Amino acid sequence: MTDMTDRKEQINFGKMLHGGDYNPEQWLDSPEILEKDIEYFKKAHINEVSIGIFSWSTLEPEEGRYCLDWMQEIIDRLWANGISVILATPSGARPKWMADKYPEVLRVDEYGKRDFFGARHNHCLTSPVYREKVRIIDRMLSERFGKHPAVIAWHISNELGGAAHDCFCPLCQAEFRIFLREKYGSIDNLNKAWATTFWSHTYNSFDQVEAPSRRGENGLHALNLDWRRFVTDRYADFIKAETAAIREGGSILPTTINMMYDFIPINYHKLAPLVDIISWDNYPSWHKKEEAVTAMDTAMQHDFMRSLKKAPFLLMESCPSATNWQAVSKLKKPGMHEASSLQAVAHGSDSVLYFQLRQSRGASEKFHGAVIDHYGGDDTRVFRDVTRVGEDLEKLADVCGTETVAKVAVVYDVENRWAMEQAQGPRNAGLFYTETALKSYAAFRRQGLNVDVIDESQPLDCYSVVAMPMLYMLREGFADKVRTYVENGGRIIMTYWSGIVDETDLCFLGGTPGGLMDVLGLRSTEIDGLYDWEMNTGIPADSFSADGTQDKAYPKEDGGPIISGTKASYTCTHLCDLVRVSTAQPLLVYGSDFYKGWPALTVNRFGEGKAWYVCADFEQRLYDDLYRAIAGEAGIRGPLGEVPEGVEVTTRTGGDKDFIFIQNFRRERVAVALPAGAEILCGEYDGTIDSFGTVAASVRK
Ligand code: GLA
Ligand code: ZN
């Protein structure tokens, strides 16, 4: 077993992991299948297997009767064949006997009804019985397997938070009150922070507070926010308890939880510090839209996950073929599996792992794609695709453990999203927060720049440029952090519908963006919600004439309009902010409506830095042009310079080398010039890259 004095060091597993979820408990009566699987794994260059994720009823078929020998046998056999194991704690799904004997382990819904037994990921997070049962089994697994040379990490539970509803049982409600008491100290403080005099909802004591419910209180937005924070805190507490049980059992191996795509119910930033490695499950709907569009969206998720710890992560699950839970189970076209897998690696993953290695025979995932399907052979298209990825990963061994250096970032904050989406504000028909953040992300990526996707709690001073689209809620300390950042030379791009409320959703008084009006050199006076069919434009500010609605005409010096081709005009939809500038210079003005001539894009010098303000929901082209100009001004350049449309360029850095990944997500071949001195590690290149092709090359720095 590896001696692990420093857990951080272990996190570079020394090889790109290739493998994934495996459920041998479904095949214990077919030893020939289990044996054959290992043969296939080796053929497909699979070097890791994740087991135990849903094994509880096999590990403990009756209360207190433990059966771990089958697992020992599997782990021994895997190890004898050089295959590592990520071992899961089984808390993601419980045995029936437990639910029957201890109903408190089942969740209660917001209407007060307790669930029946069934499904998964749905245990009460507070139940002392569940916690104790989990503690016992986790500790036992740790004692028995924590020092096995095959085992390299712990997979805590499964997709935490992925249930139909939170738990609203009396135990959880009591914990919620404790959480609030600790947070607010007195009920007066809570009443003020939550604005409870509205509709006479004032509380007299913490004991009166109930969780939000559609049948009860749901109009106190701050209550809803604190409930989400509380639920996150419950998960955090659960992770801590599971980790403690693993440590009690003697294992010091690294831990992870598998996170999910753009997952809103919990704040992953609060969970990230509690695990050693970030991992996530990626199931893009390839071929639904243009592949380049799906690739951009997926890339942003990879970068969000990587930015949680600013460290390599693991792709814990992905589908080797088609899932069976999307509306249409689309097969991946030739080359797509490899492109999708290597995209994860390009963005910082040290693994390509699948759900699932062998397809289950019955129940709800029997048609979910797998490395080995019901046919049971290795002469399949999917098996060949998987094998090819295994070979690629071996060629990319040097990339393992390397970091991703980003000089630009996009702030994409889940608490802000919780607040904004319930706010009942300028556009209940859709605010398009994610889409707007993606526009900023894409504008950077189209230049081949690495991008961190961070939240308001993370540092800014490591970046040259930070985009902060639609930051409706400024969390404690964020405005000050932004001010200092710009003062010291940072560049920010902020947009409409930013700086409106504080952390408990109380509106800022005295003008918005709250605390940042001088940094941006303007004040937002009103915001116009546009109907779906409405549109406005941003036209060059030199066509602007002071019309009495603004204080003064705007000087053209100060670098002049930053967007190249001053004749450009851009369309905008959904939301138009009507700002009054103080020191900011308009670069674009609105082209129509009663606010024609009002600023639509501005820039303000503040301290050593600059702050741009995008007043409306502009088309992608505006972001592309603006961010290219800003990156140019900041002297930031991607490794390829101009990036052809539909191509992704991503860089990982290790020692004296950069590893550059160039991926063609277009449906046709594309010509790309590699940087001088590039040494190709994997992929085919002849001055062009095939559709869905990837070229990974190393370049000495
Ligand atoms: C999730 C789960 C897996 C499996 C897959 C199917 O990622 O963690 O157990 O259900 O979805 O895509
Ligand atoms: Zn509960």
What's 486's domain CATH number?
Answer: 3.40.50.880
Q: Would you please indicate which residues are annotated as catalytic (active-site) residues?
A: 159, 317
- What is the whole-number distance in angstroms between the Cα of residue 194 and the centre of ligand 2? 24
456 and 521 belong to one structural domain: yes
349: region left, alpha or beta (phi > 0 left; psi from -120 to 50 alpha):
beta
Helix boundaries (H) for 369-432: 381-395, 414-422
Mutate to test the pocket of ligand 1, among 23, 159, 263, 360 (most ligand atoms within 8 A of CB): 159
- What is the whole-number distance in angstroms between the Cα of residue 355 and the centre of ligand 1? 6
Q: Which atom belonging to ligand 1 lies closest to the Cα atom of 158?
A: 8
622 and 677 belong to one structural domain: no
β-pair partners for 408 = 451, 465
- Give residue 548's pLDDT: 33
- What is the whole-number distance in angstroms between the Cα of residue 459 and the centre of ligand 1? 33
Phi, psi for residue 564 in degrees, rounded to 5:
-65, 150
Phi, psi for residue 687 in degrees, rounded to 5:
90, -15
Task: Look up residue 77 and give its two tokens.
Answer: 């056999």
Closest CA relative to residue 288, chosen from 301, 298, 302:
298
Residues with CB under 5 A from ligand 2 (ion): 124, 126, 167, 169, 171-172
CB atoms within 10 A of CB 125: 24
Number of structural domains in the chain: 2
Q: What is the CATH number of the domain that holds 674?
A: 2.60.40
Q: Is residue 445 part of a domain?
A: yes
- Asked if 90 and 59 count as a contact pair (C-beta separation under 8 A), the reply is yes
Q: Is residue 439 part of a domain?
A: yes
β-pair partners for 695 = 662
Task: Look up residue 257 and give its two tokens.
Answer: 């939880």
- Ligand 1 pocket list (CB less than 6 A): 158-159, 281, 283, 317, 323, 325, 355, 365, 368
566 and 685 belong to one structural domain: no
Q: Is residue 21 part of a domain?
A: no
Q: Which atom belonging to ligand 1 lies closest to the Cα atom of 324?
A: 12
Q: Which atom belonging to ligand 1 lies closest to the Cα atom of 283?
A: 12
424 and 562 belong to one structural domain: yes
- What is the whole-number distance in angstroms between the Cα of residue 357 and the centre of ligand 1? 12
- Give residue 561's pLDDT: 39
- What is the whole-number distance in angstroms between the Cα of residue 111 and the centre of ligand 2? 13
526 and 609 belong to one structural domain: yes
Q: Is residue 418 part of a domain?
A: yes
579 and 693 belong to one structural domain: no
558 and 592 belong to one structural domain: yes
Sign of CA dihedral 126, 131, 133, 138: positive
564 and 686 belong to one structural domain: no
Helix boundaries (H) for 446-487: 478-487
- Give residue 550's pLDDT: 41
Q: Residue 694: which domain range?
A: 647-700
Residue located nearest, by CA, to atom 7 of ligand 1 = 281
Tokens 């606010």 correspond to what residue? 595
552 and 580 belong to one structural domain: yes
Q: Is residue 681 part of a domain?
A: yes
Q: Is residue 259 part of a domain?
A: no
Residue located nearest, by CA, to atom 2 of ligand 1 = 159
Give mean pLDDT in consecutive 10-residue pieces for the chain, a chain of 701 residues: 39 93 98 97 98 98 98 98 98 98 98 97 97 98 98 98 95 98 98 98 98 96 98 98 98 98 97 98 97 98 98 98 95 98 98 98 97 98 98 98 97 98 96 98 98 98 98 98 98 98 98 98 97 95 48 40 58 97 93 94 96 98 94 94 94 96 98 95 97 98 89
Calpha distance 546→560 (Å, rounded): 18
- Give residue 588's pLDDT: 92
Mutate to test the pocket of ligand 1, among 53, 91, 332, 355 (most ligand atoms within 8 A of CB): 355
Ligand at shortest distance from the CA of 109: 2
Calpha distance 385→369 (Å, rounded): 13
CB-count burial class (<10 Å; 0-12, 13-18, 19+) for 461: exposed
Tokens 């000089």 correspond to what residue? 407
pTM for the full model?
0.96
Task: Look up residue 223 and give its two tokens.
Answer: 């209550």
Q: Which atom belonging to ligand 1 lies closest to the Cα atom of 281?
A: 7
Closest CA relative to residue 574, chosen from 525, 621, 524, 531:
531
- What is the whole-number distance in angstroms between the Cα of residue 383 and the centre of ligand 1? 19
696 and 557 belong to one structural domain: no
- Give residue 541's pLDDT: 83
